[in-house]
Amino acid sequence: MDRRKIVAGNWKMNLDRAKARELAAAVAARAGEAAATELVLCPPAPYLDTVATALGSAGGSSPSGVALGAQNMHDKASGAFTGEVAAPMLLDVGCRYVILGHSERRTLFGETDKIVNAKAKAALAAGLMPIVCVGETLEEREGGRTEAVVTTQVNGSLAGLTASDLEKTVVAYEPVWAIGTGKVATPQQAQDVHALIRALLGKLASPTLAARVRIQYGGSVKPDNAADLASQPDIDGALVGGASLKADDFLGIAAAFGRHPA
C-alpha cells in the first residue's frame, strides 16, 4: 500500500491574479513543511498560467514539487464549445490534475454522473489525472441513503475506466453538508464512506488496485481537524476549499496528513 497522501487546494472562484501569484509562491516556497504530502493547487482557469509560473510548473514538472490542477474541463478535445476549456489546453499550461464532478458543478451546473464519466475519460486520454468528487446531501444522509447515493456516483462517474485509468484517478469524498459549512464529518463518518468507496473500486477493478487508489476527504477541513481525519486508514488526503486560501492553513493541513504515512 503505497498511497502518498495528497492534499489539494480548490480555490473555487476566489482571488485575483496578484493574490493567486502570491499564494502560489508562498506554498511553493514552504512546500518543504509538508514534504511527505503531495500538494496540488487548483486556481480559477484564468490564473492557471500565472500559478504555473509561480510553481515553476509551466513545463509540466514543477521544481517546487507542487502540482497544478484545474477545477473543471469539457469532455471534447477542441471545437465549437464557447466558453469551455479542453483537457489538452490544461495540460499545455502545466496542469497534472483536474477536479471533476464537484458538488457545486453537479448542483449548480447540472453535471450528471454520465457527464463526469465522459470528462474523466477525456482527462485520462489527454494525460491528466482526474480528482473525481462524490458525496451525499444532508437530506440523503438523514434519509439513510448515503451508501446508495455514493455507490451510484462512484459506479456512474468511473464506469468503463480501466485498471490503469483508476490507478491515476483520485476520488474525493465530499459530503455536501460539510462543504463551506464548518460542519466537518467525524473521522468515523468519513472513514466509513471511504471504506465503502474502496470496496466499490475493488469491484470495478480488483482489491489490489483499490488499495493503491487515493481517496481524499473534503468539507470544512482545517488545520485543527486534519490530524484526526488523517489518522483514519482509508483517508489519503484532503480536498480543501476555504482553508486553502491561506498558505499557513493549507500547509498545516498538508503537514498533518504527512505525519500519517500510508
Binding site for ligand 13P (CB under 6 A): 10, 102, 174, 179-180, 218-221, 239-243
CB of 71 to ligand 13P, least distance (A): 9
Specify whether 102 is catalytic: yes
- The phi-psi region of residue 79 (left if phi > 0; otherwise alpha if psi is between -120 and 50; otherwise beta) is left
Strands 95-100 and 129-134 turn out to be parallel
Any idea which residue has 490564473 for its cell? 47
Task: Decide whether 86 or 240 has the Cβ nearer to ligand 13P.
Answer: 240
Any idea which residue has 477525456 for its cell? 122
In contact, 262 and 230? CB cutoff 8 Å: no
CB of 121 to ligand 13P, least distance (A): 21
Task: Decide whether 68 or 205 has the Cβ nearer to ligand 13P.
Answer: 68
CB of 146 to ligand 13P, least distance (A): 17
CB of 213 to ligand 13P, least distance (A): 18
Amino acid identity, residue 240? V
Task: Decide whether 86 or 253 has the Cβ nearer to ligand 13P.
Answer: 253
Specify whether 174 is catalytic: yes
CB of 207 to ligand 13P, least distance (A): 28
Strands 66-70 and 237-240 turn out to be unpaired
Task: Decide whether 81 or 109 has the Cβ nearer to ligand 13P.
Answer: 109
Amino acid identity, residue 260? H
Task: Decide whether 30 or 102 has the Cβ nearer to ligand 13P.
Answer: 102
Task: Decide whether 14 or 155 has the Cβ nearer to ligand 13P.
Answer: 14
CA nearest to 217, candidates 182, 189, 242: 189
Select the residue whose beta carbon is closest to ligand 13P and give its number: 241
Instruction: Given the residues 102, 136, 140, 260, select the one marked as catalytic.
Output: 102
Distance CA 43, CA 13 (A): 8
Report in angstroms the alpha-carbon separations of 109 from 40, 72, 90, 103, 158. 24, 11, 20, 9, 20
CB of 162 to ligand 13P, least distance (A): 26
Instruction: Given the residues 140, 174, 194, 260, select the one marked as catalytic.
Output: 174
Active site positions, annotated = 102, 174
